[in-house]
Chains A and B, each alone.
Chain A
Amino acid sequence: MDWGGARMGLRLLVIILVVGAAAVPLAAGTWQGAIAPIDPPAPDRFDGAALQRGLQLAAIGNCMSCHTAAGGAPFAGGRPVATPYGTIYSSNITPDAQTGIGQWSEPAFRRAMRAGVGRTGQQLYPAFPYDHFTLVSDADDALLYAYLMTRRAVRSTPPANQLRFPFSVRPLLALWKLVFFKEGAYRADPTHDGQWNRGAYLANGLGHCGACHTPRNALGAEKRSARFGGGRAQGWHGYAIDSASPARVRWDRTALRAYFRDGWQTLHGDAHGPMAEVVENLSAAAAADLDAIAIYIAWTMGKRDRADSVQQASVATQSSGAVIFASACQGCHDGSRPLPFGGVRLALSTAVMDDEPTNLINVVLEGLYPRSGAAGAIMPGFASVLSDEQLRSLLSYVRLRYGQGSPWKDLEASVQSAKAQRHD
């Protein structure tokens, strides 16, 4: 997840510090002490059905993605999360007593999920999305706890966070929470049915969809007024999944359900970037839960203003972008082979329809590859052979020919920014 402008963040922080000074007594109220350590519970304390449910829930929470370093042991942490304030390393959530959460009792785990406070009482950074996890029920927290405490314990200490002052001062997070964090479990909306509520509970809680699909303010808090209006994740644009969804063909619950299961959908294309990890995990979630999320997300997208019809603009075929497209792209993207092994028809591609070119740039430069060892479609990347100018002319051509919107503004800046992210 990326968070808004750092400079503005500093200014806002100063304001908050001033406000915070007045709120110290309040902040002290939110301070919570340590919860006594326990011996790691024996795995046979938990019953098999609970573990199965816990696994399905952890898949929705996408816990493994952030809590596993590249090439590292599952849940052992150490994956760097870049933020405008520095780098945070995910924690070890295996049941190792020294370096993981082996000494955490269930109440300690529940408090971390609900209130963003670690077992010893330290404030947790919201890179751990407790602004969403606070909605998770006690019962589901218990299932997640059972699942995590029965994973293989791995002794591994993640690298220390590298955050700039004053973001490195954990107690200040109490003030951040006062301003931006609302604690409390999910409350059902009686105007909707049970399935919708289940979907809303999972998507806004454990699934933390908004962490990547909602814009953040300068201090990294999600803008509640713009929920699902599009956000950022690891150099990718998390598309708007409200009525502003840039998808050419409207998503419905059936299409979403297939996308969650397969990682691609024939009228929308393949999941890529961080969403590829999300859908890979979702394939392990309970079918009924995925149905519920699909119903809810289809509802959040609602009606839309864009036409679903697919029409291609007639454009000059003489530009350098057209020549590059014809020779490097069209062979796979001519629509003659179905997904996932043929390229998506670009007239259906959300990356091409989106208001910003970020994701298309990433895909063209890096290609799409399945996770190491997994099966999946491959698109080769073209970073080594496309000059910036060639890339820009290709992007302009694709946008003009297949995109519904206006030409992308300031492609040069977008290309440079995407390239800078790649080298981080």
Chain B
Amino acid sequence: MIELRVNGRTHRISADADTPLLYVLRDELELNAAKFGCGLGQCGACTVLVDGIASLSCVTPIVLLAGRQITTLEGLGTPQQPGPMQQAFIEEQAAQCGYCIAGMMMRAQGLLQRDLHATDADIRKELEHNLCRCGSHMRILRAVRRAAGLMLASGSTGVTAPDPAQPSAYPEVTAPPDDGMRRPAHPDLRERPQR
């Protein structure tokens, strides 16, 4: 049993110690923002923050993460109250197919938490290893710059130390009862809060 601290909440995880964090996030915690892309740490779609630093959840076994602070895209805000990074990506319409975007936002978030005055060159360098095959890079870069502006204006990167006693800002999603049928797992398409 490993205790994982994700978006400020503590979860007791029964998965094997060598299970990649991504599988636990998606399959057990139903935090589906981080995506399975290559599964080899090459594409960045699975990026989350560990203690504020961008990390590839598909190659990070949970055995390494006891006591660490994990932040996923769900930890940056909600559809009702998007954080500055999410707000900026919406305003710039920076997603095409969207598959890479959660990873892009998390890596950019890590950068801006470190340095709100990151230059264009810093942003490009930071995002270099996150692949987007739609080619929405220019909009992604604009969105990250806009996010930095929003953060500077509000004086907050949008992530506050969460209070474990408080329920998550993101609504609980209850898995439907298992009817024994196999169906394509598309958890992202399950009920979402209405905007």
Q: Which residues of A contact B (CB under 8 A)?
A: 71, 320, 323-324, 326-328, 331-332, 367, 369, 372, 378-380, 382-387, 390
Contacts and interface: CB of A to CB of B under 8 A. Distances in A.
Given A323-B17, A385-B50, A380 B56 contact: yes
8 contacts: A323-B18, A323-B61, A380-B40, A380-B42, A384-B51, A384-B54, A386-B64, A390-B64
Nearest to B62: A327
A328 B21 CA distance: 11
A386 B53 CA distance: 12
Contacts of B63: 320, 323-324, 327
Contacts of B50: 384-385
Contacts, number: 53
Given A369-B129, A378-B42, A385-B60, A327 B17 contact: yes
Interface in B39-80: 40-42, 50-51, 53-56, 59-61, 63-65, 68
Contacts of A382: 59-60
B128 interface: yes
B121 interface: yes
A240 B169 CA distance: 57
Contacts of B128: 372
A324 B41 contact: no
Nearest to A372: B128
A-B interface, 6 closest residue pairs, ranked by CB to CB distance from nearest: A380-B41, A327-B18, A327-B61, A384-B53, A384-B55, A378-B42
B59 A331 contact: yes
B111 to A, nearest CB: 13
Main secondary structure of the interface of A (DSSP, over half): loop
B42 A328 contact: no
B96 to A, nearest CB: 21
A327 B24 CA distance: 14
Given A327-B20, A328-B59, A384-B53, 18 more contacts: A71-B121, A323-B17, A324-B63, A324-B64, A326-B18, A327-B17, A327-B19, A331-B59, A332-B40, A378-B40, A378-B41, A382-B59, A383-B53, A384-B51, A384-B55, A385-B50, A385-B65, A386-B64
Nearest to B57: A385
Contacts of A372: 128
Nearest to A343: B40
Contacts of A367: 41
Given A71-B121, A384-B54, A324 B61 contact: yes
Contact of B55 (A320, A327, A378, A385): A385
B64 A328 contact: yes
Nearest to B39: A331
Contacts of B53: 383-384
Contacts of A326: 18
Most buried by B among A327, A379, A390: A327
Contacts of A332: 40
A215 B59 CA distance: 37
A327 B38 CA distance: 16
Contacts of A324: 61, 63-64
Contacts of A380: 40-42, 56, 59
A384 B69 CA distance: 12
Nearest to A373: B128
A379 B56 CA distance: 11
Contact of B129 (A328, A378, A385, A387): A378
A107 to B, nearest CB: 39
Contacts of B54: 384
A109 B17 CA distance: 61
